Structure 1
Amino acid sequence: MHGLASILHADLDAFYASVEQRDNPELRGRPVFVGGGVVLAASYEAKARGVRTPMNGNEARRLCPEGVFVSPRMEAYSAASKDVFDIFHDTTPMVEGISIDEAFLEVGGLGKISGNPQQIAQRLRARVASEVGLNITVGVARTKFLAKVA
């Protein structure tokens, strides 16, 4: 690795809630909670009103009475995750999945083909947005820890 930044940490933003907003235009721009008795995920609009995970559903409603509770649709989240991971694997063969919405990608050695890690990260953000309809945060660093906090 020679100390050069070559690790990407890719994390889908507010994943479950973002899939719900993507799939249901009526939810876009509104505070969304995925879950029931407990908030499994909250949209950025809900987080701005103090809703966090894993918060009791009653507390979430108290903080954000205009919020919309949506039942989890694991099949939809799995399908969206597969689409994103297909893009990851199209970017580099070195993908380490951490969860349904998060992975490390090793992009060292791709410079001549794909550009520097920052350029690869930018293209990854653009592809996930255009092809899957979701926002993704991508950190670039020389270690996994630093990429995750970048």
Structure 2
Amino acid sequence: KRGTSNIGVINSGAATNVVAERATIRAEARGHDPAFRNKIVRAIEKAFAKAAQSVRSSSGRKGTVSITKQLDYEAFRIPQSDLSVVTAHKALESIGYEPYYDVSNGGLDANWMAANGIPTVTLGCGQHDIHTTNEWLDLTAYKAACRVALMLATS
């Protein structure tokens, strides 16, 4: 079982010399197994609840936590025998690439389409170290991905 979590947004206070009354974070958990993804969410909730209870204000009050959960998209997997996968495979081969199959934990338009009964293949486009400070793009692979996308859209 694989999954990831991330705290991507942290907001608090209005000045550097004032103790903030509250903080707001936006976090996410991803994984293809809903039970495992929920386990990640519970671990995050437990950690924040424990942290809030471990500190007290100058008046002796403990911290509190309020968590709102929202499922933005569900994970999906398309069988290699599906027509969309076979067609994409052939398109990649036709321009000299050897396709391979992998699992992405990305949140894409394809997630919505798959959830609504439209099998959608996700193709790489030359991105590396995605969503990190080291992210970069292989322009040769990007241009090849554009050719494949055009082939798929017009065939």
Give the TM-score taking structure 1 as reference length.
0.25
The structure, 1 or 2, with the larger RCO (C-alpha pairs under 8 Å, 6+ apart) is 1
TM-score relative to the length of structure 2: 0.24
Larger helix share, 1 or 2: 1
| Structure with greater Cα Rg | 2
